Chain A
Amino acid sequence: MADVTVLPQVRPVNPAGQILQLVPGVLLLAVIGYAGKVIEKSLGTYAKAHHLTVPNIEYVLWAILIGLLVSNTVGVPRVFRAGVSTYEFWLKAGIVLLGSRFILGDVLKLGGVSLALVALELALAISFMTFLGRVFRLRPKLTSLLSVGSAVCGVSAIIATEGAIDAEEEDASLAIAAILALGAISLFTFPLIGHALQLSDRAYGLWAGLAVDNTAEATAAGALYSDAAGKLAVLAKTTRNAMIGFVVLGYAWYWARRGQAQAVGNKSAFLWQKFPKFVLGFLLISGLATYPVFDKAQLTALANLSRWAFLLTFAGVGLRTNFSEMRKQGWGPFAVGAIGEVVIAVFTLAMVVAADRLLRL
């Protein structure tokens, strides 16, 4: 019998259908995020009416907790999944709109400080994670992915590097699972440590932006501390994200020299392709806000739109975190990631505290 080549069926692209598929999940994000906001307000009102002193738990934490509860009990039904995965879109739109809350001069000043701290953090994170990977005898490309994930920006950096160094999909999945699990832990530990050390909003925000890996978790960890800390966490994390192209290019060059990845052709095109475009959007909106294209009421409207976008993001962070799925991924990468994260967190904390004292951030 002659070989029969079965061609994959190509489903017709129907834009309206694709958008409709997103609606249930986006509504779920909105409902969970808004429920977090209602709970925060209701508890505050109740405590005030009954003269109770209770800690103010921000909507951010409620939204994440409700999402975690759904994801780890009943799970996220298939009909909601496409829409829930849009949380990354809302995160990046929220970051661009957050640019309206920064004067360009502040961005340049704080961005400059962040850039210097990010350079130190990158050097430490990459060299220490590489060392740990060797000690734990992880596969070298898995170690590279974990290094990039913890040094730059979590999942996006791992996905960008996976293609650039021809890594196995399994290694990328292991690295992503480790980074996501550690990000979930950071959400609960960072604010507690920040309060225990009585860090200023600026110092804490910078620390969260430098040490928490995934952009969504870094934004949430900052917002859990205070509104001002959330702003700084996003700025520091955005500075880190801007480095992604250079780090991935470095790894691509390293593995190509060892004959285990294809060489990069046009380096400028490679850098542009990997560069996170929302960083440019953030700077553009910040520039428009500085040379007052918007009046005060309009700036408030933009800031509130950013908050709504983050509200959907935080619900998505909870919904996409499934602990039983993470447990299946094995302890080796998680252990390397965890030890590395603790060291990076301590190192970046020391840097930020020193910068806060020396430069009066």
Chain B
Amino acid sequence: MSSSKDAPRKGRTWGLSIDEWAVVAALVLALLVRVGILRNVPW
């Protein structure tokens, strides 16, 4: 059944929600840290 509730969530940017973009960004950052491109991140 297709209803408004089953439709994709509003507010998607380029096919992904904010949640999904945040996960993608965090995983990319984790990968950059793992392969050594990002190291010694100061705080």
Contacts and interface: CB of A to CB of B under 8 A. Distances in A.
Same complex for A and B? Answer yes
B10 A163 contact: yes
A150 B1 CA distance: 31
B39 A301 contact: yes
Contact of A89 (B4, B8, B21, B29): B21
Given A93-B22, A297-B40, A304-B42, A252 B5 contact: yes
Given A15-B14, A301-B41, A265 B2 contact: yes
Given A163-B5, A266-B1, A269-B6, A301 B22 contact: no
A276 interface: yes
A4 B20 CA distance: 41
Query: Which secondary structure dominates where chain B touches chain A?
Result: loop
B1 A89 contact: no
A155 to B, nearest CB: 12
Contact of B30 (A97, A160, A278): A97
Contacts of B5: 163-164, 252, 262, 264-265, 270
B12 to A, nearest CB: 11
18 contacts: A89-B22, A91-B22, A93-B25, A160-B9, A163-B4, A252-B5, A264-B6, A265-B3, A265-B6, A269-B6, A277-B17, A281-B27, A284-B27, A293-B34, A298-B33, A298-B34, A301-B38, A301-B41
A160 B31 CA distance: 31
Interface of A: 15, 18, 88-93, 95-97, 100, 160, 163-164, 166, 252, 262-266, 269-270, 273-274, 276-278, 280-281, 284-285, 288, 293-294, 297-298, 300-302, 304-305, 307-308
Contacts of A270: 5-6
Contacts of B39: 297-298, 301
B37 to A, nearest CB: 11
Contacts of B34: 293-294, 298
Interface residues of B, number: 31
Nearest to B20: A277
A17 to B, nearest CB: 13
A308 B41 CA distance: 10
A196 B16 CA distance: 44
B22 A278 contact: yes
B25 to A, nearest CB: 5
Contacts of B8: 273
A302 B32 CA distance: 10
Nearest to B17: A277
A274 B26 CA distance: 20
Given A163-B5, A262-B4, A305-B33, A92 B22 contact: yes
B30 A302 contact: yes
Nearest to B27: A281
A100 B33 CA distance: 12
A18 B21 CA distance: 15
B31 to A, nearest CB: 10
Given A298-B34, A307-B43, A96 B18 contact: no
> 6 closest pairs, A vs B, by CB?
A265-B1, A92-B22, A96-B26, A281-B23, A304-B41, A93-B22
Contact of A273 (B9, B18, B40): B9
